[in-house]
Structure 1
Amino acid sequence: MTEIAESALPAIPAPSTPGREPTAWRPVLLVAAAMAAVHLAVATRYGWHRDEFYYVISGRHLAWGYADQPPLTPLLARLAAALPGGVLPLRLLAVAMQVGCVLLAPMLAAEFGGRRRAQIITAAAIGACPVFVAASLLFGTTVVDQVAWVAVLVLVARALRLRTTWSWLAAGAVAGVGLENKDTLGVLLLGILVGLALLRREALRTAGPWLAGLLAVALAAPNLVWDAAHGWPNLRMARSLAAEQGGQLGSLAQLPLLVVLAGPPIVTLAVLGVRRLASAAGREHRWVLVAAVVTVVVSTAGGGKVYYPAPALAALFAAGAVRVESTQWRQDPSRGWGRAARPLVASAVIAVLIGLPVLPVGAADAIRAVNPTALETYGWPGLVDQVRQAAAALPPGTPIFTGNYGEAGALTILGPAQGLRRPVVSAQNGYAIWGPPPGRPDVALCVGEFTPDQLHQAWAEVTEVAPIRMNGVHNQEATHHAAIYVCRRPRGTWAQLWPALVHFD
């Protein structure tokens, strides 16, 4: 603590040399290949995730923005879904993003002065970290956000070393693309700015960082313009998500989960990273520690989810690996790899068990409190079959109105192959902005998390056909009593009913 207090006041002098350790590509690539092999072995063991349905459908409504995310992930999801193989191309994209993190993080260790051993440990830590492993279970904004965060950290560290405008512009370009994926990257950029202002002020006296910022804003501008033109639905979504998890108090209560997300066996590595950056040896790169602290504070204050700032762990792992290399190996070279490997292997086993679909469904359901994500990839074909059977008794062309985007996506993407060919409508998030269909819903098959009272606001006659069965798992549909209803005698046209049906959550 004394070291932090004494060194937090003056800015760190610029480094005298532009050199850095070369990247140990061969062992780092081996770590990435091993990680990718584990992911690919179980990539399609369960099935689609509700968010993957939504990203693909969103990509079919190309725009510069959506109610709950910028356009990059939906665009990539649409391109991947156009390839043969069902959900597999999306999972390949997710694994590629995880591989990107495994390859980039050792480069950050090299920027911190880490040699071959530190870089291998850093790559292995990313591959064994539950928050990185679980995010790459499915393709979505989170796994893309992770690789964007790590890339920006690497490029900013590189720009500070090289002190050239072009190196700063590279960081700005990646940041701008990352902002077109998820707004949370803006919190990292704020943290970096604070870190530079406190500890590397000489960099802010040059044009490079400011030109990088302008480039990032320019690349993110189309989404900002779209959001403004549609009444800032992303802010509405952020408030809704914060309220769902209890606002600032809810985020604060979840902070201890960062230890689980980091991986209990390797959380010591992150702690060593903090100690390294807080020591005299880490003065030059201490801005990273400030950035990490700012991301956690801002995310918590904004009621964000606990995993939002988690990609900053890559910087702490990298710094911790440098400390391990410079101390443990020097003290006892013969035991260095053994001491480093044991926690990494233990964390990898935990990460795979709780983050990937390797367990029997019943076992995954039993540990759903730790990670419910895998359960949201199971049971969709059964839901589609239930809806198909209910729809068979209704006139051809009867619309299906769903309670959430997951149900709508499953019926749209999986339905035709299972013989269900009906128009599918929803009023959640992006579906709400795309608007209602034309005409009047004289008869509608309503599917999802409704209560009869909710449906009676739009239809005078509501009949429950059957509850939705999700094959024994406790996912969102099972825990909210999703059911199938036949609704008749509407109280208006779709356009008239729409405002009461819309919901953002």
Structure 2
Amino acid sequence: MRTTLRAAWPAALTLAVVLTVLSAGYGWHRDELYFRMLPRAWGYVDQPPFTPWLVRTLAGLVDQPWMVRTAATLAGVVAALLLAGITAALGGDVRAQRVAAWGGAFAGFPVLLGHVSLTSTFDHPVTLAVVLTALLALRRDPRWWLVAGLLAGLSTYNRLLLPVVVLGLVLGLVAFHRTALRSVWLWSGAGLGALLAVPNLVWQARHDWPQLAMGRALSDNNATDTRILLPVVLVAAVGPFLVASVLRGVRVAWQTTDTRWVVVAAALVVVFTFVSGAQPHYPVTMLCVLFAAGCASGRLARRRALVANAVVSCLIGLPVLPVALLARTPIPAMNVVAADQVGWPAYVEQVAQVWDEAGDPSAVVLTGNYGEAGAVDRLGPALGLPPAYSGHNALGLLPPPPEDARTVVVVGHAVRALEGSFDTCRVVRRLDNGVGVDNEEQGVPVSVCRGRTEAWATLWPRLRHLD
């Protein structure tokens, strides 16, 4: 372990410095704005509670992006160390561990995840930790199964994706290494993981399995694009200069019976992603595991390949370019996370101007998505705006606007659901971030609806939506 830390800490420390320097970036990401405004709860319709709790807690200390992103930076650092550990567990020497740490730390998607506090940001190191502890249990000491079970159980409070990896582990052991299933430590770890997951699963069951409904909504919205773009996204997310190492990792992991499950788990996540059509980045962590396995082969990516991959990854995944130049590059189209950080102060200021011009102190703000609602919640009070309402995801289960609110400033296309329910609805302006970045809010209408003719109890269910 000491050897691995010595090999990996230069990459981890460099990543920490880069992420810290760039942590303010272009501004808040829409998911961060959403997480910080969610009320305390055991779970939400679109995800378990961990990431919203963490973002809300850090924002409660210092309500700025850089503070919220300290957790993302730490997650990225831990992930780099874990990749070196996986390489060591697979027999890689110190040089191989060093290459795994540098390559994994500055690969495409891990760099991006280290910059913003998203659900996937924390899935990445937890999944790597489960893989590492499973390898240690199979190759060194079966007591590591307890740690693997502990981490797998806790992971269900962030996202219900790791069970797919665990299923791959089980299938791989059943097919290729059944003797491992005789270990009392394996079953003890499985029991511990199941016990820890029970409260989260009970919450899901008592709320009619909202994660399944959310999965269907993601599939309805993303399935075609996900299936078409999946190979391109996976290559870009790891980095084109590391693809050869990933392919070597498949061969290395398949060579012995106690590591073939890694290939099975990676393939299962790819198949799950393709069939579900949810989010194309889901398999990236397992590809990083295969990269680490490729490093253990002894045929290492050359230094210039690692540098080139890091440069491309940082240009695409981090806020390196001035925001005024961003629209002149393909980066917003390649990295929606960057685009989703641009323009929130300008957008909220424009909404505030419309609200002021509406001339009704009881008017409420209704937004089409949680990013807009979160931006109004964070930036609106300084401009005199009231709290925002939205029917998007978990916000749709919160109480509707008060009955005395008869004037509504509507951001986005939610106005369509209000047609016929107000005397008048008129588009008064369109949002403009001022730098030409084409993101979800750029150009959307801001409308003023007056003279509500239906009760909010009737309107609110029509405004709820998952995506």
TM interval, shorter chain, is over 0.9
CA shift, 1:162, in A, is 3.8
Matched, 1:90 2:48: no
Aligned partner of 1:56 in structure 2 is 36
Counterpart selection for 2:280 from 286, 303, 306: 306
TM-score by length of 2: 0.94
Among all aligned residue pairs of Structure 1 and Structure 2, give the percentage whose two residues are the same amino acid.
37
Report SS of the residue matched to 2:410.
Answer: strand
Distance 2:305 2:118 in 1: 29
**Change in CA separation of 1:291 and 1:483 when aligned onto 2, cut-off 3 Å:** same
Aligned partner of 1:348 in structure 2 is 310
Counterpart selection for 1:46 from 10, 26, 38: 26
Aligned partner of 1:265 in structure 2 is 241
Matched, 1:383 2:357: no
Q: Is the 8 A contact 1:175 1:216 kept in 2?
A: yes
CA shift, 1:213, in A, is 2.3
CA shift, 1:347, in A, is 0.4
1:202 maps to a residue whose letter is: T
Aligned partner of 2:81 in structure 1 is 103
Distance 1:220 1:459 in 2: 46
Q: Is the 8 A contact 1:251 1:305 kept in 2?
A: no
Aligned partner of 2:323 in structure 1 is 361
CA shift, 1:459, in A, is 2.1
Report SS of the residue matched to 2:423.
Answer: strand
Q: Which stretches in structure 1 are left out of the alignment for 5+ residues?
A: 1-20, 329-338
CA shift, 1:363, in A, is 4.2
Report SS of the residue matched to 2:447.
Answer: strand
1:33 maps to a residue whose letter is: L
**Change in CA separation of 1:117 and 1:500 when aligned onto 2, cut-off 3 Å:** same
Q: Is the 8 A contact 1:459 1:490 kept in 2?
A: yes
Distance 2:420 2:371 in 1: 23
2:159 maps to a residue whose letter is: K
Give the alignment of 1:45-444 within 5 angstroms. Answer: 45-58=25-38, 61-84=39-62, 86-164=64-142, 166-246=143-223, 250-251=226-227, 253-279=229-255, 282-324=256-298, 340-365=302-327, 366-367=329-330, 368-393=332-357, 394-417=359-382, 419-444=383-408
Aligned partner of 2:447 in structure 1 is 485
Report SS of the residue matched to 2:61.
Answer: coil
CA shift, 1:283, in A, is 4.2
Matched, 1:449 2:393: no
Distance 1:503 1:238 in 2: 13
Distance 2:401 2:452 in 1: 14
CA shift, 1:250, in A, is 4.2
Distance 1:92 1:86 in 2: 11
Distance 2:384 2:76 in 1: 35
2:24 maps to a residue whose letter is: T
**Change in CA separation of 1:209 and 1:252 when aligned onto 2, cut-off 3 Å:** farther
**Change in CA separation of 1:439 and 1:450 when aligned onto 2, cut-off 3 Å:** closer
CA shift, 1:253, in A, is 4.7
TM-score by length of 1: 0.88
Distance 2:393 2:116 in 1: 20
Q: Is the 8 A contact 1:398 1:423 kept in 2?
A: no
CA shift, 1:52, in A, is 0.3
CA shift, 1:314, in A, is 2.5
**Change in CA separation of 1:397 and 1:209 when aligned onto 2, cut-off 3 Å:** farther
Distance 2:206 2:325 in 1: 46
Report SS of the residue matched to 1:486.
Answer: strand
Q: Which stretches in structure 2 are left out of the alignment for 5+ residues?
A: none
After superposition, give the CA deviation of every residue in 1:349-387 in whole Å (9 maximum; x if it has no partner).
010001011113354333122112101101100011111
Q: Which moved more, 1:113-122 or 1:356-365?
A: 356-365
Aligned partner of 1:26 in structure 2 is 6
Q: Is the 8 A contact 2:7 2:95 kept in 1?
A: no
1:313 maps to a residue whose letter is: L
After superposition, give the CA deviation of every residue in 1:130-153 in whole Å (9 maximum; x if it has no partner).
011112221010110101110100
Bigger CA radius of gyration = 1
Q: Is the 8 A contact 2:238 2:288 kept in 1?
A: no
2:124 maps to a residue whose letter is: Q
After superposition, give the CA deviation of every residue in 1:386-443 in whole Å (9 maximum; x if it has no partner).
11112223222421111110010000011123x2231311111001122323424311
